[in-house]
A = this chain, B = another copy of it.
């Protein structure tokens, strides 16, 4: 099946917003067996929109459109589809009732009359309810289902919910897949090519399929299965996952909804351990990452950003260590972790030192990173060198720190 995406909105053409919707949908199509040939952004212009739909229906089996479904005069996606098919917009009474109820319940006021427009479809179309917004979607088929237009709201979280819950099941039926189910496994402490190597012939499996993605919180492995029913697809994944797990077990930290800071927080809670950090190289990014997890105050006692030698000494790094090894060294980082643990009276601590750059620090080259953890007196450390920007260096350093702690905690 050949598909194209139309992203509607003048803000896209002014560069005010980035088209993240098209990117999201593009990632979702390959597991459905749908080939994406074009992505187009078009302004809020009825004629140009109608032309785009006509061209889309000529060259693609499926046209996925986002945006232009709001209540104002600028929102012209419905009108353009109506123009293309020569069918007038008709109010759907049950949809109008849903919209009025949405306003009463969620907004605490009557629906403005201009929003009635959002309760319309063309007669040959059906609507896709939007439980979290006022813009319902549209589903329109032609040529006995050989050509389809799917319209979804432009607000990203509304679009994604509608996509997952309503559009994917319909598309799966259409492509004859019955049901398509995906599961994402997240890895940390391993690179993408190394992960692919570890997975071996599993990446050539056809059902389920297995794909790797390098993301900001590690490597994601996506297992996708097709079957008659969602239950059968899930069983296929359940049967396949152990072989994957067996090969990536040392790096597997969680599934789709699991963030690394929350996973580490969960391990700390389970073991009844508190945490502190002392940061030089990461300059606050590590504490920032840890405190991204809601409820981090349950286990995170605090952190110190110790940029100066004095700040390191005052936290408790012995001056003998600083004299012998300097402020940036693996030994100093170990001592810093222990000092942070003692200062904050925490059970565990992470410390970082290094050279974020630009430029080297004396004889220590730019990009040098030392990370150490002290968990109840047990010390672990890592030395790395990154060739990257200052911002990215800090991000990777923070991730490495959390990885080192996670590796120690999970083995307990």
A interface residues (Cβ-Cβ under 8 A, vs B): 12-16, 18-20, 22-28, 30, 36-43, 48, 213, 277, 279, 282-292, 294, 296-297, 300-308, 310-311, 314, 343-345, 356-359, 390-391, 394
Provided the pairs A284-B285, A288-B285, A311-B302 are in contact, do residues A36 and B18 lie with their beta carbons within 8 angstroms? no
Q: Determine whether the beta carbon of A294 is less than 8 Å from that of B390.
A: yes
* A390 nearest in chain B by CB position: B294
List B contacts of A13 (CB < 8 A). Answer: 26, 36-39
Question: Chain B CB within 10 Å — which of A20, A36, A291 has the most?
Answer: A291
| 26 A-B pairs in the complex with CB atoms less than 8 angstroms apart | A13-B37, A14-B27, A15-B23, A16-B213, A19-B22, A37-B48, A38-B40, A38-B48, A40-B40, A279-B287, A282-B288, A283-B287, A283-B292, A283-B296, A284-B286, A284-B289, A284-B291, A287-B288, A288-B288, A292-B390, A294-B359, A294-B390, A296-B307, A301-B308, A301-B311, A314-B344
List B contacts of A277 (CB < 8 A). Answer: 305
Mostly, the A contact residues are mixed
Q: Determine whether the beta carbon of A305 is less than 8 Å from that of B307.
A: no
Q: How far is the CB of A309 from chain B (nearest CB, A)?
A: 10
Q: Determine whether the beta carbon of B308 is less than 8 Å from that of A302.
A: yes
A264 to B249, CA, bound (A): 46
B16, B22, B307: the one contacting A300 at CB < 8 Å is B307
Q: Determine whether the beta carbon of B294 is less than 8 Å from that of A283.
A: no
Q: Determine whether the beta carbon of B40 is less than 8 Å from that of A12.
A: no
Question: Chain B CB within 10 Å — which of A14, A39, A294, A314 has the most?
Answer: A39
List B contacts of A391 (CB < 8 A). Answer: 292
Q: Determine whether the beta carbon of B18 is less than 8 Å from that of A23.
A: yes
Question: Chain B CB within 10 Å — which of A19, A20, A290 has the most?
Answer: A19
List B contacts of A297 (CB < 8 A). Answer: 307-308
Q: Determine whether the beta carbon of B288 is less than 8 Å from that of A284.
A: yes
Q: How far is the CB of A61 from chain B (nearest CB, A)?
A: 15
List B contacts of A14 (CB < 8 A). Answer: 26-27, 30, 36
Would you list the 8 A-B pairs with minimal beta carbon distance, nearest first?
A284-B287, A283-B291, A15-B26, A15-B27, A284-B288, A302-B311, A303-B305, A39-B41
Q: Determine whether the beta carbon of B311 is less than 8 Å from that of A307.
A: no
Question: Chain B CB within 10 Å — which of A285, A304, A359 has the most?
Answer: A304
Q: How far is the CB of A236 from chain B (nearest CB, A)?
A: 23
Question: Chain B CB within 10 Å — which of A286, A303, A306 has the most?
Answer: A303
Q: Determine whether the beta carbon of A306 is less than 8 Å from that of B310.
A: no
* A10 nearest in chain B by CB position: B36
